[in-house]
């Protein structure tokens, strides 16, 4: 009988910690090449269509920014949660509720126009996302529920609620029965940055500003220190006088507000109205972005652009090669898998327990390592 065990390394390699995302990306490319070959297309050609052609012209870079903006906005918020060891998996739902709250003004009060409309919408979007994120926070602090489950399940509630809204009370009466709201008025549309060059809107600027602000918060401010202490050693955090419950609310409200801002920016900028589906899974993909960016806000900006490209590439191979755009999901999944794999191998090394010892008990482990699997 052979067995694989993970043994903790005494030291982490700083070099490989830094290289890990790049190694993961390279492995994804290799695995992707195999996948394309199995699908019967030339991998080199497919990669050219997937990764290069979608960003070869200026207007396409604008499309990239449109896709990257919500990913970055959501992921920098999530990075705060994850640093605090709080597992908000429900950013997709907070994104949707941000979009719904922000749409209250253009949908219910379309006659209200002027320069105040947009700031109010953005503010309401943040409030909506934060309020929706407050639910798992409250459940966790009050009843000690697992926030992974509650925040995830609330995503489906949000999706169905949006679906009901646009088919029911908020449906455009002149929309020929299509499940969508009225088109937002001019003053409710997020302006484009450079209308002559492409469609990219202010959402991308919000994302960059948020990344810089969160970077300052986490690296330079006492609050960021509190996040890191409570996340890495909660008991030391309590000794420092930091409250864990307060932190749960802080992390959820902050990440919820940013996801909500992403939601209303997407609806007001890229879509222009509410529909049954307003996100191709940004809230979930942002989890990959957060980890690929090493939970560092500046790394997240780069990771957000990479993941945005997987969306564009998926659309490109679908139209050029006739391959399903689910390829994008496969690439995202492989990327997350390899990132987590590389990170694990930075902290642990694999040890093969051979035949020699199987008669006796396996040597006691000094540091408990999770068993990978048992193989014959």
Partner 1 sequence: MSANHDGANLLEVRGLTKIFGTLTACDHIDLNIAKGEIHALLGENGAGKSTLVKMLFGSLEPNSGEIFWNGQAVRITSPGAAKKLGIGMVFQHFSLFEALTAAENIALSLDDGSPISSIAAKARALSYSYGLPLDPESLVGDLSVGERQRIEIIRCLLQTPQLIILDEPTSVLTPQEADKLFETLERLRSEGKSILYISHRLEEVKRICDRATVLRHGKVVGHCNPREQTASSLARMMVGSEVQAVVRAPVEGIETAQPLLEIRGLNRKPATPFSIPLKNISLNVRAGEVIGIAGVAGNGQGEFFESVSGEVLQQDTASVRIRGKDAGGLTITGRRLLGAAFVPEERLGHGAAPRMKLSENLLLSRHATDGKAFVGTGGMVRSGAVYAASQRIIEAMDVRKSAPDPEAAALSGGNLQKFIVGRELDRRPSVMVVNQPTWGVDAGAAAHIRQALIELSRSGSAVLVISQDLDELFEISDAIAVMHNGELSKPMPIAEATFEKVGLLMGGAEPGHAEHTLETA
> Which residues sit at the interface with partner 1, rule CB under 8 A?
10-11, 220-223, 225, 228-229, 232-233, 235-241, 357, 360-364, 366
* CA geometry: angle 104, 110, 114, nearest 5 deg: 100
Task: Select 108 or 236, whichever has its Cβ closest to partner 1.
Answer: 236
Q: How many C-beta atoms surround the C-beta of residue 322 within 10 A?
A: 9
Instruction: Decide: 316 and 53 in contact? Cβ < 8 Å.
Output: yes
Task: Select 222 or 375, whichever has its Cβ closest to partner 1.
Answer: 222
Q: Which residues of 152-168 are buried (b: 16+ CB within 10 A; e: fewer)?
A: bebbeebbebbeebbee
Task: Select 191 or 363, whichever has its Cβ closest to partner 1.
Answer: 363
Q: Nearest distance from residue 43's CB to partner 1, in Å?
A: 41
Task: Select 199 or 228, whichever has its Cβ closest to partner 1.
Answer: 228
Q: Nearest distance from residue 225's CB to partner 1, in Å?
A: 6
Task: Select 277 or 362, whichever has its Cβ closest to partner 1.
Answer: 362
Does an H or E element contain 101, and which?
helix 91-102
Q: How far is it, in rounded angstroms, from Cα 85 to Cα 349?
A: 24
Using DSSP's 3-state secondary structure scheme, residue 83 falls into helix
Task: Select 160 or 240, whichever has its Cβ closest to partner 1.
Answer: 240
Q: Nearest distance from residue 289's CB to partner 1, in Å?
A: 24
Q: Nearest distance from residue 217's CB to partner 1, in Å?
A: 9
27 - beta bridge partners? none
Q: Nearest distance from residue 356's CB to partner 1, in Å?
A: 8
> Please, is 144 exposed, middle or buried when counting C-beta atoms within 10 Å of its C-beta (0-12, 13-18, 19+)?
exposed
| DSSP-derived secondary structure for 288-352 | HHHHHTTT-HHHHHHHHHHHHHHHHHHHHHHHHH---TTHHHHHHHHHHHHHHHHHHHHHEEEEE
**376 CB-side CA count, 13 A:** 0
Task: Select 160 or 362, whichever has its Cβ closest to partner 1.
Answer: 362
Task: Select 236 or 350, whichever has its Cβ closest to partner 1.
Answer: 236
* Nearest-10 Cα torsion for 141, 142, 145, 150: -80
Q: Nearest distance from residue 374's CB to partner 1, in Å?
A: 18
Q: Nearest distance from residue 240's CB to partner 1, in Å?
A: 5
């Amino acid at each position: 009988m052979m067995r694989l065990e993970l043994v903790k390394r005494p030291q982490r390699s700083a070099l490989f910690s830094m290289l890990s995302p790049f190694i993961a990306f390279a492995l994804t490319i290799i695995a992707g090449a195999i996948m394309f070959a199995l699908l019967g297309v030339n991998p080199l050609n497919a990669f050219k269509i997937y990764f290069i052609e979608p960003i070869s012209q200026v207007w396409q870079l604008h499309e990239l920014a449109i896709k990257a903006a919500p990913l970055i906005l959501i992921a920098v918020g999530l990075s705060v949660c994850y640093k605090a060891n709080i597992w908000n998996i429900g950013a997709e739902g907070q994104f949707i509720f941000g979009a719904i709250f922000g749409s209250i003004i253009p949908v219910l009060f379309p006659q209200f126009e002027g320069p105040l409309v947009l700031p109010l919408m953005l503010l309401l979007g943040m409030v909506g996302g934060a309020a929706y994120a407050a639910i798992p926070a409250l459940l966790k602090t009050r009843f000690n529920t697992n926030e992974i489950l509650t925040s995830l399940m609330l995503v489906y509630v949000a999706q169905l609620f949006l679906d009901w809204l646009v088919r029911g009370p908020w449906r455009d009466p002149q929309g020929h029965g299509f499940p969508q709201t009225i088109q937002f008025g001019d003053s409710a549309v997020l302006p484009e940055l450079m209308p002559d060059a492409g469609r990219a809107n202010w959402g991308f600027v919000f994302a960059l500003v948020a990344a810089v602000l969160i970077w300052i918060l986490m690296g330079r401010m006492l609050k960021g220190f509190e996040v890191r202490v409570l996340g890495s050693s909660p008991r030391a955090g309590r000794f420092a006088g930091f409250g864990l419950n307060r932190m749960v609310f802080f992390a959820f409200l902050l990440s919820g507000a940013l996801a909500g801002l992403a939601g209303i920016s997407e609806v007001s900028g890229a879509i222009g109205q509410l529909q049954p589906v307003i996100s191709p899974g940004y809230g979930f993909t942002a989890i990959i972005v957060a980890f690929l960016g090493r939970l560092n806000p500046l790394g997240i900006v780069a990771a957000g652009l990479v993941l945005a490209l997987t969306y564009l590439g998926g659309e490109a191979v679908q139209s050029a090669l006739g391959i399903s755009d689910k390829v994008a999901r496969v690439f995202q999944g492989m990327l997350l898998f390899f990132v987590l794999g590389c990170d694990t191998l930075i902290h642990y090394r694999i040890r093969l327990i051979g035949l020699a010892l199987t008669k006796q008990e396996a040597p006691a482990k000094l540091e408990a390592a999770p068993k990978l699997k048992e193989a014959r």
